[in-house]
Amino acid sequence: MFDVQKVRADFPILSQQVNGKPLVYFDNGATSQTPQVVIDTIVDYYSRYNANIHRGVHTLSQLATDAYEEARLKIQKHFNAKHNYEIILTSGTTESINLVANGFASILQKDDEVIVSALEHHSNIVPWQMLCEHTGAILKVIPMSIHGELIMEEYDKLLSNKTKLVFCNHISNALGTLNPIEYIIKKAHGVGAAVLIDGAQACPHLKPDVQALDVDFYVASAHKMCGPTGVGMLYGKEEWLRKLPPYKGGGEMIATVTFEKTTYADLPHKFEAGTPNICGGIAFGAAIDYMNTVGFDNIAKQEEELLAYGTKKVQEIEGVTIYGPEDLSKKASVISFNIEGIHPYDIGTIIDKLGIAVRTGHHCAQPIMDFFKIPGTIRASFAFYNTKEEIDIFVEAVKKAKLMLS
């Protein structure tokens, strides 16, 4: 049985007060909170076996190496990658995307085409724009509807034998839209194109199976999944990882070095130059263990209930507009909304004084805001440790802020 109060006790930050009020944390789309077991893992590393990995024969180095590689195995199992060396540990989603974009700079040719969706975070737009500027490739965009959903008929029209890469997020950070990535992947493969899926917003809510998806690249960040900041992963099919050149040069990613020639290490080390975020990688594994202990079926059920309840309560606010799919089965636990005549920043500032954390602004997704002709939204993003009582407090706070600003 899922006991939300028992789960909340795992997160020390949730018991604190902010501005004299109990914290209501609804900014999970930006970063999730960290359970004590992950915090303890971080403390344990620095207290007992802090050492560099893959290089030392001494005991601490061996302990650190074993723990780091065990974390890689946990990530492999969680995402169901075929091989552990298909998991590249990075600083996060943004670096993972840039790693792939950098690799394709030597593959794409002038007038090749790449496709990105209109629902993307800036980190899944800008690297591809830079890639196109460098190679002469052409960037095309899958348009979205007024309901914040991608128009698949238009996607079909964009695909051709010129299409080499397709990029799409699994779930939109700004609207919560759950994209039809299975269809997107299958259609792209039909014209011989590779696909990268940005899973940063999806992985806190569901458990992707990269083999079942048949995706070429999948990226995620630990800090969205109850883990630390500064670490994430790139899954890449072995055939693609062997084709792509190294992203960065330095220690660890080499086999041999002379002044005449350098040869590169095998996967995954080919893409992991320098001393990594060792503690972060180990804690990423601990966070995945924790989320699997809670259970993704339990997480999904709790968050579906929160989304349904929260949507109903927010709709009671006079003058409110909610952005994104009306069908809640097509979105994750995000409510992105505005109140007529009031800037979202003003609402966010006032409710912060009442201990409530939400995100306001364009959410690093300016093209979405431009589509709706708005400066930004108020985004309440829920996690499995949130409650309906917190939603009640949040909605009442928004109503109070609205009265103050009217």
Residues assigned a catalytic role: 364
Hey, what are 260's tokens? 């005449």
Q: Cβ(320)–Cβ(337) under 8 Å?
A: yes
* 212-216 contacts, C-beta under 8 A, 24 or more apart: 212/80, 213/181, 213/182, 213/185, 214/185, 214/186, 214/189, 215/181, 215/185, 216/240
CB atoms near residue 97 (< 10 Å): 26
Q: Cβ(348)–Cβ(363) under 8 Å?
A: no
C-alpha–C-alpha distance, residues 42 and 22, integer Å:
27
Would you give the DSSP letter of residue 342?
B
What residues form DSSP beta bridges with 166? Answer: 115, 195
C-alpha–C-alpha distance, residues 331 and 147, integer Å:
11
C-alpha–C-alpha distance, residues 359 and 348, integer Å:
7
Q: Cβ(282)–Cβ(71) under 8 Å?
A: yes
DSSP annotation string for 91-124: SSHHHHHHHHHHHHTTT--TT-EEEEETT--GGG
What residues form DSSP beta bridges with 71? Answer: none
Does the CA dihedral 228-309-362-142 come out positive or negative? Answer: positive
**Cis omega (within 30 of 0) for bond into 268:** yes
